[in-house]
Structure 1
Amino acid sequence: MSKRDCPDADVLVLGAGIIGVSVALHLQRRGKSVVLVDRRAPGEETSYGNAGLIERASVIPYGFPREISTLLKYATNRSADVRFRWSFLPRIFPWITRFWLQSSGRRLRRAALDMLPLIERSVAEHTDLMAEAGILHRARRTGWMEAYRSEKTFAAAKRAAGALDEFGLRYDFLGPKELQLREPHLTGTFIGAIHWLDPATVADPGKLVKDYAGHFVRKGGEVLQADATTLSQREGGWSLRTASSVLRAHEAVVALGPWSDVVYRRLGYRIPLAVKRGYHVHIEPAGDAVLHHPIVDVERGYLLAPMAKGIRLTTGIEFADRDDAPCPAQVNQTEPHARAIFPLGRRVEPAPWMGSRPCLPDMRPVIGPAPRHKGLWFAFGHNHHGLTLGPATGRLLAEMMTGETPFADPAPYTMSRFG
């Protein structure tokens, strides 16, 4: 092979969010030379805007509700949990129908069992990467809370938590006094809470991804800016154009989250990827108020999380086109409720941040080879759990790519399930 034909790397990883960075690190561990490419710096898209949860307790995927009362609230945009852009509804309705069908009791349990090996390894795999990168102090092992305003809703939540005992999760039921002891500055009318103890949290998920990427670079990896749409198959591998050159590699990984379709559609693949948009805004705590745990106000549909930039108020789901202009309705709807339960001062940012979560209707990601293109691999569609499952996904895909025995059965994540 001439020097001109020699590849620049073994693998090109497209996407520098938590999934792509984790894949790059795990391939690097296994002796592969890797170039990580994105249009922006690591951790500045979807991975930046989340609640900072490494969600070991989410053993049941986020399915579509079946209760008529809940569906009516969603359909009329009366709930902060879910909001529709009416002009987008005809386009998303077929996907929602598939999602609803996959959310039946039997199918939801099957999805839970399929996802369990990744969920079970979520905290451990993050801990492993953090320790290697010298940032283990970033993990907070304090869990998170769901807070309830009504006895009826709290009782139902207790029953649902008890149904998860087969998965070995640890949790505490808190009455008003116990909740006040753990969160002294809460001022709302909560009658109780569930404190999930197994998850870990981080105070700046975007910075965590940057730290992982920095570790990747220190170990000899390369991070470049490039346009993923220029990916093309070439003899012996794959190539990608940058502003000044053409990168070449034997293999390529598409880990572009909600933008993965810009690559796979051009290559002829039909994958039912949709996005659920979400928003957050940072607000300064008032006075000396301290929030010790992320806390969900279940009946009002928002989450407050202590972050490096203040208290992060995150919203539920917005069904809209990925590239539509932002709409702050959910933030504006929930912020007064948040201010009623916790002392909050001024907003840190002038406008809420918006991001898109890549989701598939059967609540499983695509992790594995592209069947019609040698050397092309996919890793996207993690359905709200990208931060949680990044390192576990990275390990699983790297094991598949290097011929190791995978720590989990990859069959549930193959793209062939979509035909």
Structure 2
Amino acid sequence: MKYDTLVLGAGMVGVSCALHLQSRGRSVALLDRRAPGLETSYGNAGIIQREAIEPYPLPRGLGFLLSALGNQRIDVRYHAGAVLRLIGPLWSYFLNSGGSRYRSVSREYETLIAHSLETHADLMQAARAESLVAGQGYLTLFRSASELRDCFRNADQRARAGVQHVKLSGDDVAREEPGLEGRFAGAVRWTDPVAIRSPGDLVQAYARLFNERGGTVHLGDAMTLRRTDDGGWQVDTAQGPSLRADRVVVALGPWTLELTRRFGYTVPLIPKRGYHRHYVPLPGRPLHSTVIDGDHGFVVAPMKDGLRLTTGAELAWPQAPRTPGQVAAAERVARQAFPLGEPVEAEPWMGTRPCLPDMKPVFGPVPAVDRLWCAFGHGHQGFTLGPITGELLAAMMTGEAPRVAVEPFSPARFNQTGALKTQRI
């Protein structure tokens, strides 16, 4: 079973890489330990975030840092052991989260976000998946007037880069979302993003398109990857036969480094875990739009399986025991405003986002390892950026000129110890 390329990882990024390589005439096999779209790509808030032209920085304000020490915030929590092991990457993340460094990172990041809607739209049309679109836009909601003013200022800055929005007063919010309870200062409606009613189903629709076009999807253990005598690659499948290919793309999200470090490549990955749970909507109180609670950092989204409550970030290793306090705290606050009925699942879902201290994804050829490529580290935006990442990576692998400068996202920006080679000033 010989192919031009193996793609390891069947989340949004891996499936998108496989589709774009396939569209350029390459024979591609896609392999994961589970069916497509069942890991991190399944569990997000389901928004294609065209407005997210700036990556999520690490808050630098003294008030945030002091409040985070108690580990009781709803938006960010942590395991102390993980933080101690991540001191170096977190310090780099802190330095990159402000001033000229952050402005430079944001300019580079925006070049990817700018193509998120069109690249998804092309795949959705080809996959006949438009029915998964729940609506256009979403709300960022505030109880605090000062926080709302800050968001208005940020929205005006983004508008200069072409991001569309509408400012809403508290009365506007009450008219648009009468199912919410309580009084709010107002909200920003971001009008460009697209909300998806089941992000895992969208990944599966793209994987079916890959199948329909002649690709093959296999279950197997990516960690069995090894060199062949001719310098290519081989990996075992759960069904028995091995897959062989000239080149391999590792798109395993937070598990990527578990594989690539065996071949001498590592980076300072920061794992951010997230939780979600679905709730039966309360009758007579519809929620029309996805809503980000700007004061507390959780999301409530109308989805196929109910109202999905999605938490912020938890700094913890993927394999560490679950700590349900964050999602429980978010639920307590959410029930005061949102129409949440009984939970659908017995316990919350949990997944891990792969984040990097310079807040940019990694895709391209792995340094000093012939025919090994990677695509990972998209942080909070793997769902949004999967298709454009796949397009750019496929262009590089087939000798085309990428339409976006790809050097800022190169795996080679890290040295042999995994540290960033340079820091912006």
In the superposition, the TM-score normalised over structure 2's length comes to: 0.95
Mapped partners of 1:388, 1:286: distance in 2: 30
Mapped partners of 2:312, 2:234: distance in 1: 38
The answer for unaligned runs of 5 or more in structure 1 is 1-6
**Residue correspondence of structure 1 range 18-417 to structure 2 within 5 A:** 18-234=12-228, 235-243=230-238, 244-417=240-413
SS class of match (2:336): helix
| 1:245 to partner: Cα distance | 1.9
Question: Identity across aligned pairs (percent)?
Answer: 46
Mapped partners of 2:225, 2:30: distance in 1: 13
| 1:288 to partner: Cα distance | 2.9
Deviation larger for 283-292 or 45-54: 283-292
| 1:340 to partner: Cα distance | 1.0
CA contact (8 A) 2:265 2:367 kept: no
Off by >4 Å, runs of 4+ in structure 1: none
SS class of match (1:89): helix
> Any idea what the Cα deviations from partners look like across 1:264-317, whole Å, max 9, x if unmatched?
110011211121000000001111321111111111221101110000001111
SS class of match (2:160): helix
Mapped partners of 1:300, 1:55: distance in 2: 19
CA contact (8 A) 1:236 1:250 kept: yes
SS class of match (2:153): helix
| 1:113 to partner: Cα distance | 0.8
> Any idea what the Cα deviations from partners look like across 1:325-373, whole Å, max 9, x if unmatched?
1111011111121111122210000000000000111011111001212
Which residue identity does 1:115 align to in structure 2?
Y
CA contact (8 A) 2:5 2:249 kept: yes
| 1:137 to partner: Cα distance | 2.7
SS class of match (2:136): coil
Mapped partners of 1:199, 1:274: distance in 2: 26
Deviation larger for 139-148 or 62-71: 139-148
> Any idea what the Cα deviations from partners look like across 1:38-58, whole Å, max 9, x if unmatched?
001100000000000100001
Deviation larger for 324-333 or 226-235: 226-235
CA contact (8 A) 1:283 1:346 kept: yes
CA contact (8 A) 2:135 2:289 kept: no
Deviation larger for 118-127 or 102-111: 102-111
Which residue identity does 1:190 align to in structure 2?
F
> Any idea what the Cα deviations from partners look like across 1:199-242, whole Å, max 9, x if unmatched?
11101000110111011111111000111111112214111122
CA contact (8 A) 2:253 2:354 kept: yes
Mapped partners of 1:30, 1:236: distance in 2: 23
CA contact (8 A) 2:280 2:307 kept: yes
Mapped partners of 1:44, 1:277: distance in 2: 15
CA contact (8 A) 1:141 1:198 kept: no
Mapped partners of 2:278, 2:84: distance in 1: 33
SS class of match (1:265): helix
SS class of match (1:186): coil
SS class of match (2:262): coil
| 1:74 to partner: Cα distance | 1.5
| 1:134 to partner: Cα distance | 1.1
Which residue identity does 1:318 align to in structure 2?
E
> Any idea what the Cα deviations from partners look like across 1:42-91, whole Å, max 9, x if unmatched?
00000000000100001111011111001111122131111011232211
SS class of match (1:147): strand
RMSD of the alignment, in Å?
1.1
Mapped partners of 2:244, 2:371: distance in 1: 12
CA contact (8 A) 1:79 1:301 kept: no
CA contact (8 A) 2:392 2:403 kept: yes
| 1:141 to partner: Cα distance | 4.4
Match of 1:3 in 2: none
Mapped partners of 1:242, 1:160: distance in 2: 48
SS class of match (1:266): helix
CA contact (8 A) 1:188 1:342 kept: no
Mapped partners of 1:236, 1:325: distance in 2: 39
Which residue identity does 1:266 align to in structure 2?
R
Which residue identity does 1:295 align to in structure 2?
V
Aligned residues: 413
| 1:140 to partner: Cα distance | 3.9
SS class of match (2:345): coil
SS class of match (2:86): helix
SS class of match (2:335): helix
In the superposition, the TM-score normalised over structure 1's length comes to: 0.96
SS class of match (1:300): coil
> Any idea what the Cα deviations from partners look like across 1:173-222, whole Å, max 9, x if unmatched?
10122112221211122110000001111010001101110111111110
Mapped partners of 2:224, 2:335: distance in 1: 47
| 1:26 to partner: Cα distance | 0.6
